[in-house]
Chain A
């Protein structure tokens, strides 16, 4: 609050009212006016001006201000002269009062204004603090919204990618299935023909001139090899058929969104699809336990498993081993990808799920694989974790809640 100034209304003493006037000059002027010694006394009897001791034979006149006697003037002059000098002092008091009251009131007003300003300042500070807090909340909300939008974008990006892969796969599958069908059929027929040709062999061998030519042409080997060639080719067409089917299944273009699937089937299918990329780098060992069928977005999970498998393969410095293990326990499905690759450095491991974080060369990876994987698994109500030891390899574990209604 500060110092409380004196009220402008307080009663002023004679000393205060004359304080602004140099005492020596007032003393000299009064002495001249009164023609000799005098005394100016306050109401309480203190000598303010003039000789200190009481004079004998003096005239005593009140000095009034604000309706009251504030003091007395004693002089050796006449009554009229003393009264005139007292009136002069009263006029001086009047001016002194003007000065005191104005300055005291001014002080009061300044003090009041200052206090008002202090109050306003405190209120402003309070509201500023509130606005700062609001702005922080706003920033936090913006950050959350940005996160939501980014996640949605990544999923959209992924979905688009899968949709185009799916369309392509569907087209290719359709185009390939027709020729493969008639190639398979033709090869089967041709193998039948070879078998029928082979039934002629004993007859020809018993016919001397023909037997010589037969033998010369090594027809026995030829027919046997011919059959083997056709059998291999038939196996080849079967493999092509299966790969086309897996590709369709992987992109799941012809599957409903939330479908009940056996994740083991997905894992097998992914191994088939990625065999060409993975087998030069590592052996894949499947260790699949009994799983309940799971209602899920198949294409997303397929993408997760493929990312994990390809990451594992690409982590190999030398030809290594990838073990895919699936288990069902406590109403949860655990799928582990264990590799013998180079592992992940500790300073990097906390960032591998961050968007656009990649350790690969520019153009080799988007840095979105694990981010999207985590998004997909989280959307399914599950989690994805990693353990790694540099030089020994990594273990990625996907945990999904098993559907309760299945």
Chain B
């Protein structure tokens, strides 16, 4: 659940981009930084990388003020996708309020995708989160590449799953904002039940999304 700071009138949502190595999590964050125009937007904090691969995490802070003059902060994190960094992944995942699973659309990456998704499910439970109720959007990235699963194939494979599916090409920015908006909608619904955002803070889902993602 979001981190509430009554004294400083501040609520912080932690949103995590998860997925296999090289699936485009950091690229998603960079495009969001360019595409979004919220009231408050920080610089991307990129920790150590090695050959263009995330070792710790990337962080993009976004924020706005509610009509009740509360500061709403959204901290967007990426995790390192490489299998060896599982402990880091778990640390970043803990206390998350919403997840985007960034899958690689290439046919050759199907196994990595499913292993990473299984890892997400396991780690979510390990850090004490309820995987079944946690807001989650599944994004199939790299739609610009050849040899990818078609949308029909992806949809039929994920037909039984309850999570919204999106398709994106993070390199060009296509689908990145849509994925994020879908996540914001879910996060709002989830938080509204617990924090009564609409009653206490006068925030509807539409105004919440608009405040962060713009129109």
Our verdict on whether A and B bind, yes or no, reads: yes
Binding site for B on A (CB under 8 A): 8-9, 66-68, 94, 97-98, 101-102, 105-106, 108-109, 112-113, 116
The listed residue (B42, B47, B95) touching A66 by CB distance below 8 A is B42
Bound-state CA distance A106–B85 (Å) is 11
Query: A67-B63, A67-B73 known; 15 other A-B pairs, CB under 8 Å?
Result: A67-B40, A67-B42, A68-B71, A94-B45, A98-B45, A98-B46, A98-B47, A101-B59, A102-B48, A105-B56, A105-B57, A105-B88, A109-B88, A112-B87, A116-B87
Nearest residue (CB) in A for B14 is A9
Contact A8 B91 (CB under 8 A): yes
Nearest residue (CB) in A for B89 is A109
Using Cβ atoms and an 8 Å threshold, which residues of chain A touch B41?
67
Instruction: Tell me the B16-47 residues at the A interface (CB within 8 Å).
Output: 40-43, 45-47
Q: How far is the CB of B107 from chain A (nearest CB, A)?
A: 33
What are 15 contact pairs spanning A and B, CB under 8 A? A66-B42, A66-B73, A67-B40, A67-B41, A67-B62, A67-B63, A67-B71, A68-B71, A101-B59, A102-B48, A102-B56, A105-B91, A108-B91, A109-B88, A112-B91
> B75 an interface residue at 8 Å Cβ cutoff?
yes
Bound-state CA distance A8–B63 (Å) is 20
Q: How far is the CB of A45 from chain B (nearest CB, A)?
A: 15
Q: How far is the CB of A383 from chain B (nearest CB, A)?
A: 65
Q: How far is the CB of A19 from chain B (nearest CB, A)?
A: 17
Q: How far is the CB of A105 from chain B (nearest CB, A)?
A: 5
> B61 an interface residue at 8 Å Cβ cutoff?
yes
The number of residue pairs between A and B whose CB atoms lie closer than 8 Å in the complex comes to 46
User: Per-position contact with A for B68-87: 1 when CB-CB < 8 Å, else 0?
Assistant: 00010101000000000001
> Among B61, B75, B88, B91, which residue has the most Cβ atoms of chain A within 10 A?
B91
Asked whether A97 and B91 contact (CB < 8 A) given A67-B40, A68-B71, A102-B56, the answer is no
Using Cβ atoms and an 8 Å threshold, which residues of chain B touch A113?
87
Using Cβ atoms and an 8 Å threshold, which residues of chain A touch B73?
66-67
Bound-state CA distance A101–B46 (Å) is 10
Using Cβ atoms and an 8 Å threshold, which residues of chain B touch A112?
87, 90-91
Binding site for A on B (CB under 8 A): 10, 14, 40-43, 45-48, 56-57, 59, 61-63, 71, 73, 75, 87-88, 90-92, 95
The listed residue (A66, A98, A109) touching B61 by CB distance below 8 A is A66
Contact A9 B87 (CB under 8 A): no
Using Cβ atoms and an 8 Å threshold, which residues of chain B touch A109?
87-88, 91
Bound-state CA distance A68–B95 (Å) is 21
Using Cβ atoms and an 8 Å threshold, which residues of chain A touch B87?
109, 112-113, 116
Using Cβ atoms and an 8 Å threshold, which residues of chain A touch B95?
9
Contact B47 A102 (CB under 8 A): yes
Contact B14 A97 (CB under 8 A): no
Bound-state CA distance A98–B57 (Å) is 10
Q: How far is the CB of B2 from chain A (nearest CB, A)?
A: 13
Using Cβ atoms and an 8 Å threshold, which residues of chain A touch B92?
105
Using Cβ atoms and an 8 Å threshold, which residues of chain B touch A108?
91
Q: How far is the CB of A236 from chain B (nearest CB, A)?
A: 101
Q: How far is the CB of B114 from chain A (nearest CB, A)?
A: 24
Nearest residue (CB) in A for B63 is A67
> Among B47, B75, B92, which residue has the most Cβ atoms of chain A within 10 A?
B47
> Among A8, A67, A102, A112, which residue has the most Cβ atoms of chain B within 10 A?
A67
Using Cβ atoms and an 8 Å threshold, which residues of chain A touch B59?
101
Nearest residue (CB) in A for B85 is A109
> Among A9, A108, A113, which residue has the most Cβ atoms of chain B within 10 A?
A9
Using Cβ atoms and an 8 Å threshold, which residues of chain A touch B88?
105, 109
Q: How far is the CB of B96 from chain A (nearest CB, A)?
A: 11
Using Cβ atoms and an 8 Å threshold, which residues of chain A touch B46?
98
Bound-state CA distance A220–B30 (Å) is 150
Bound-state CA distance A108–B89 (Å) is 11
Using Cβ atoms and an 8 Å threshold, which residues of chain B touch A9?
14, 75, 95
Using Cβ atoms and an 8 Å threshold, which residues of chain B touch A102?
47-48, 56
Bound-state CA distance A108–B47 (Å) is 15
Counting from the closest, the 3 A-B pairs by CB-CB distance are A67-B63, A67-B40, A109-B87
Using Cβ atoms and an 8 Å threshold, which residues of chain A touch B75?
9
Bound-state CA distance A67–B41 (Å) is 7
Bound-state CA distance A105–B98 (Å) is 20
Bound-state CA distance A376–B109 (Å) is 76
Using Cβ atoms and an 8 Å threshold, which residues of chain A touch B57?
105
Using Cβ atoms and an 8 Å threshold, which residues of chain A touch B90?
112
Q: How far is the CB of A96 from chain B (nearest CB, A)?
A: 11
Bound-state CA distance A113–B95 (Å) is 19
Using Cβ atoms and an 8 Å threshold, which residues of chain B touch A105?
47, 56-57, 88, 91-92
